[in-house]
């Protein structure tokens, strides 16, 4: 594993692969994950890897263009890193294929579901495939034959499946676009006795390939997929990011630099070479794979048996003890702070808050930051209704939220058209905070109500992301949050704050001060402890400070879901840092930070990880937890996660991803399920 020995840091892009390996582990876990859920983990792994190549690997490729002397000065070694990435990915892809072919496919068959390849079609299945082909595919099929001696290149769309077809006694190559955008990927071929037969859309086209290229003699048919650079080609350093410029540049993603060609490993080398040259790729860009690609389509794999045992048990939403019975959220929140936890509770509580604000005659303002806007929902409908009802609605929309730019900007235009004040991105900075404020006239005074969360305002992702959200009317917190919105509105440059942590203004400085306090306590022989849960840990300065704290004797317990550049458990460096990662049914997404602080514990919750971008280049908001009941609730949740001995892996120097082992007769704790039970008992 590549590290920077001078800084004792892991390479973030290499360590990210260790995280995706944990996702792959879930696809293997028959004891805790039913069949269809393991298939979804294969889909998640595949989807993660696609984005990784489009974003991170493409960035490494661009580094290769930097002048060698500059790369050397900056200690950039993109070639070495990319080669190491490809070696690790190749090994993981082989394990992926083994799980799919040796575990998933046989287990599907045991449950009377058979994926039938084209070469095993019965006469009836072949007829059904032909009928489907004629009815749904034939008239819209895009095909082309390329002669490499005349045509020097071919353009393949980003992330789209194609067949590359070779012909007998010819160096020509045929290409067929597999139309998964207009057709379901999986086609039902009917039930025979108790067996349900399903085939890939790809196989139906493969079966008809001789009729598609009837003027040539087919030699081989190989599935391929090209990934292109996902970055937008906009110079945002000059005059600010305008939504219009981003919107117009989205099409460039389809034309961006190729970063990986995934191809069927059975393709003969001469054909692969001709294909590589047509696409102007280097050898390093070629990634051999299996017969099928785009496994993220397995999110929608049909279950014709409707067998509940093949899926996770459904867990009904827990009803919040206060908000569920409340007919007036403002009175409830004014009386006491309220905390919600997703996906264990319904996102409807946030939607109801906005809905009540939209209808409440006393409400004058609604302000919200939207990082990833959901499709039409109660929340978006309520915001539109608030505008119609004469409220002053201010919506900050992050136009640079990768892969959501088009949807975000589209919604921004809808809100603008209705009369909202819509503010888009700023140059060199993203707004990643999850914040909402409602201002209400009460007894001739304005009272502020706020929601500060760890996750996006998105009802769909709230069903699969583990997040927390705080409703509060705390005067000092809401006053400072109003200043954050004034920064977004351009009325303030720097918000004064003593309570909230606000990036890029005070978050880093406050965290550093809190860690230094623990160091001083440890050096004085007092108890010193830090518990931190986040998605990713990358900032070099924070890591060096954590190393310093470890060496001073501070006990540091961390839960990091994704990648980490910190190397835990190294004697003399980080032996007091113990780090685990939880990958399970839901995506761990909450950020919680707890400092012992000489017995006067301080806890913060919000949107920021300990990454340089979250500390210095994004608008982030973390809130202190002042309500003692809610403090204890989050502390209990943290403790459950720290005790996980079922889905927690130890993050160590060797990156073994070993599950935490249980002592004989020790109670099994699967934290996501234990938290559900805990919240159910409290509510």
- Catalytically annotated residue among 293, 320, 341, 432: 432
Distance CA(393)–CA(368), nearest Å, equals 8
Question: Please, is 150 exposed, middle or buried when counting C-beta atoms within 10 Å of its C-beta (0-12, 13-18, 19+)?
Answer: exposed
* Closest among 177, 176, 165, 173 to 145, alpha carbons compared: 173
The pLDDT value recorded for residue 229 is 75
Residue 561 in marked binding region: yes
372 is in an annotated binding site: yes
User: Is 669:640 a contact under the CB 8 Å cutoff?
Assistant: yes
pTM for the structure as a whole: 0.91
- CA nearest 18: which of 566, 615, 493, 656? 656
Q: Is 48 annotated as a binding residue?
A: yes
Q: What is the 3-state secondary structure (H, E, C) of 542-608?
A: HHHHHHHHHHHCCEEEEEECCCECECCCCCCCCCCEEEEEECCCCEECCEEEEECHHHCCEEEEECC
The yes-or-no answer to whether 329-492 and 503-682 have a common fold is yes
Sign of CA dihedral 41, 44, 50, 55: negative
Angle 489-493-494 (CA atoms, 0-180°, nearest 5)? 115
> Rounded distance, CA 491 to CA 73, Å?
41
Report residue 302: phi and psi, to 5°.
-70, 150
Answer yes or no: is 402 a known binding residue.
yes
Give the pLDDT of residue 64: 55
SS3 8: coil
pLDDT of residue 367: 97
What integer pLDDT is reported at residue 403 of this predicted model? 52
User: Which residues, in sequence order, are CB contacts of 332 under 8 Å at separation 6+?
Assistant: 322, 323, 326, 338
CB-based burial, 449-480: b 16+ in 10 Å, e otherwise = bbbbbbbbbbbebbeebbbbbbbbbbeebbbb
123 marked among binding-site residues: no
Cα 377 from Cα 165, distance rounded (Å): 44
Structure tokens at 490: 């351009």
User: What's the CA gap between 77 and 429, in Å, rounded?
Assistant: 27
Q: Is 468 a known active-site residue?
A: no
Amino acid 492: pLDDT: 87
Distance between alpha carbon 671 and the CA centroid of its chain, in Å?
Answer: 20
413 is in an annotated binding site: no
- Quote the pLDDT of residue 56: 82
Of 592, 637, 601, the closest CA to residue 454 belongs to 592
CATH ID of 329-492, from 3.30.450.270, 3.30.870.10, 1.10.260.30, 3.20.20.80: 3.30.870.10
- What does DSSP say about strands 143-146 and 421-423: parallel, antiparallel, or unpaired? unpaired
pLDDT in tens, 531-586: 999 999 999 999 999 999 999 999 999 999 999 999 999 999 999 999 999 999 99
Fold of 112-231+260-299: polyphosphate kinase like (3.30.1840)
Cβ-Cβ contacts under 8 Å for 444 (sequence gap 6 or more) = none
**Domain at 1-110: CATH architecture:** Up-down Bundle (1.20)
Contact 662, 640 (CB under 8 A): no
Q: How many CA atoms lie within 13 A of 217 on its CB side?
A: 3
CATH architecture of the domain 503-682 equals 2-Layer Sandwich (3.30)
Q: 616 with 589: CB under 8 angstroms?
A: no
- The pLDDT, as a whole number, for residue 377 is 82
Q: Structural domain boundaries of the chain?
A: 1-110, 112-231+260-299, 329-492, 503-682
Distance CA 199, CA 256 (A): 33
Half-sphere exposure of 249 (CA within 13 A, CB side): 20
349 class by beta-carbon count within 10 Å (0-12 exposed, 13-18 middle, 19+ buried): buried
Tell me the backbone φ, ψ of residue 557, rounded to 5 degrees. -120, 120
H or E element that contains 219: strand 218-228
Question: What pLDDT is attached to residue 387?
Answer: 95
393 forms beta bridges with: 366
> CA torsion angle for 42, 44, 48, 50 (degrees, to 10)?
60
What is the Cα–Cα distance from 274 to 600, expressed in whole angstroms?
Answer: 68
pLDDT for 63 equals 59
Question: Dihedral of the CA atoms 191, 197, 198, 203 (nearest 10)?
Answer: -120
- pLDDT of 256 reads 67
Cα dihedral sign for 94, 99, 104, 107? Answer: positive
Closest CA to 511 of 470, 542, 481, 533: 542
**Ranges of the chain whose pLDDT falls below 70:** 1-7, 61-78, 230-256, 374, 399-407, 425-428
């Amino acid at each position: 594993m590549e590290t920077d020995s001078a800084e004792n840091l892991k390479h973030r892009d290499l360590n990210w692969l260790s995280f995706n390996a944990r996702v792959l582990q879930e696809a293997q876990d028959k004891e805790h994950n039913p069949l269809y859920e393991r298939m979804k983990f294969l889909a998640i792994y595949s989807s993660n890897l696609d984005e990784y190549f489009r974003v991170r690997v493409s960035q490494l490729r661009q580094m290769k263009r930097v002048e060698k002397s500059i790369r050397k000065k900056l200690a950039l070694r993109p070639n070495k890193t990319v080669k190491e990435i490809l070696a690790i990915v190749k090994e993981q892809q082989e394990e992926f294929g083994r799980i799919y072919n040796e575990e998933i496919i046989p287990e599907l068959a045991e449950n009377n579901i058979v994926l039938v390849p084209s070469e095993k079609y019965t006469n009836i299945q072949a007829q059904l495939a032909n009928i489907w082909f004629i009815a749904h595919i034939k008239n819209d099929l895009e095909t082309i034959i390329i002669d490499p001696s005349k045509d020097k290149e071919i353009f393949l769309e980003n992330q789209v499946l194609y067949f590359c077809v070779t012909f007998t006694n010819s160096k020509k190559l045929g290409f067929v676009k597999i139309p998964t955008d207009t057709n379901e990927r999986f086609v039902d071929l009917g039930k025979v006795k108790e067996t349900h037969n399903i085939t890939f859309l790809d196989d139906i086209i493969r079966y008809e390939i001789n009729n598609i290229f009837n003027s040539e003699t087919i030699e081989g048919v190989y599935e391929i997929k090209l990934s292109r650079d996902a970055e937008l080609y906009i110079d945002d350093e000059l005059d600010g990011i305008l939504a219009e410029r981003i919107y117009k540049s989205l099409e460039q993603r389809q034309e961006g630099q190729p970063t990986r060609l995934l191809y069927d490993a059975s393709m003969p080398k001469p054909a692969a070479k001709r294909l590589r040259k047509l696409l102007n790729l280097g050898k390093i860009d070629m990634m051999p794979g299996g017969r099928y690609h785009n496994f993220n389509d397995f999110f929608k794999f049909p279950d014709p048996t409707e067998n509940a045992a093949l899926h996770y048990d459904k867990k009904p939403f827990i009803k919040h003890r206060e908000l569920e019975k409340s007919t007036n959220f403002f009175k409830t929140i004014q009386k006491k702070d309220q905390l919600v936890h997703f996906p264990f509770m319904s996102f409807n509580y946030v939607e109801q808050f906005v809905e009540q604000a939209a209808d409440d005659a006393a409400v004058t303002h609604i302000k919200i930051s939207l990082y990833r806007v959901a499709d039409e929902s109660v929340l978006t409908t309520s915001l539109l209704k608030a505008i119609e009802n004469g409220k002053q609605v201010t919506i900050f929309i992050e136009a640079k939220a990768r892969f959501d730019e088009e949807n975000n900007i589209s919604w921004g235009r809808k809100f603008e058209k209705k009369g909202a004040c819509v503010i888009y991105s700023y140059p060199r900075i993203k707004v990643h905070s999850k914040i909402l404020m409602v201002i209400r006239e009460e007894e001739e005074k304005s009272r502020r109500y706020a929601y500060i969360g760890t996750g996006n305002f998105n009802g769909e992702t709230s069903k699969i992301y583990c997040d927390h959200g705080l409703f509060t009317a705390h005067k000092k917190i809401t006053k400072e949050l109003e200043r954050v919105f004034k920064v977004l509105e351009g009325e303030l440059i720097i918000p004064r704050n003593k309570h909230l942590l606000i990036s890029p203004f005070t978050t880093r400085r406050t965290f550093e001060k809190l860690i230094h306090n623990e160091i001083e306590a440890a050096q004085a022989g007092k108890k010193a402890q830090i518990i931190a849960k986040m998605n990713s840990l990358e900032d070099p300065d924070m890591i060096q400070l954590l190393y310093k704290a470890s060496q001073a004797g501070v006990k540091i317990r961390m839960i990091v879901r994704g990648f980490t550049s910190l190397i835990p458990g190294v004697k003399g460096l980080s032996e007091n840092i113990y780090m685990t990662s939880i990958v399970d049914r839901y995506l761990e997404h909450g950020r919680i930070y707890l400092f012992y602080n000489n017995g006067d514990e301080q806890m913060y919750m919000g949107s920021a990880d300990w990454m340089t971008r979250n500390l210095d280049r994004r608008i982030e908001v973390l809130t202190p937890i002042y309500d003692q009941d809610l403090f204890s609730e989050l502390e209990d949740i943290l403790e459950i996660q720290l005790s996980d001995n079922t889905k927690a892996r130890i993050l160590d120097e060797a990156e073994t991803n070993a599950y935490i082992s249980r002592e004989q007769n020790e109670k099994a704790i699967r934290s996501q399920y234990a938290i559900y039970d805990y919240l159910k008992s409290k509510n």
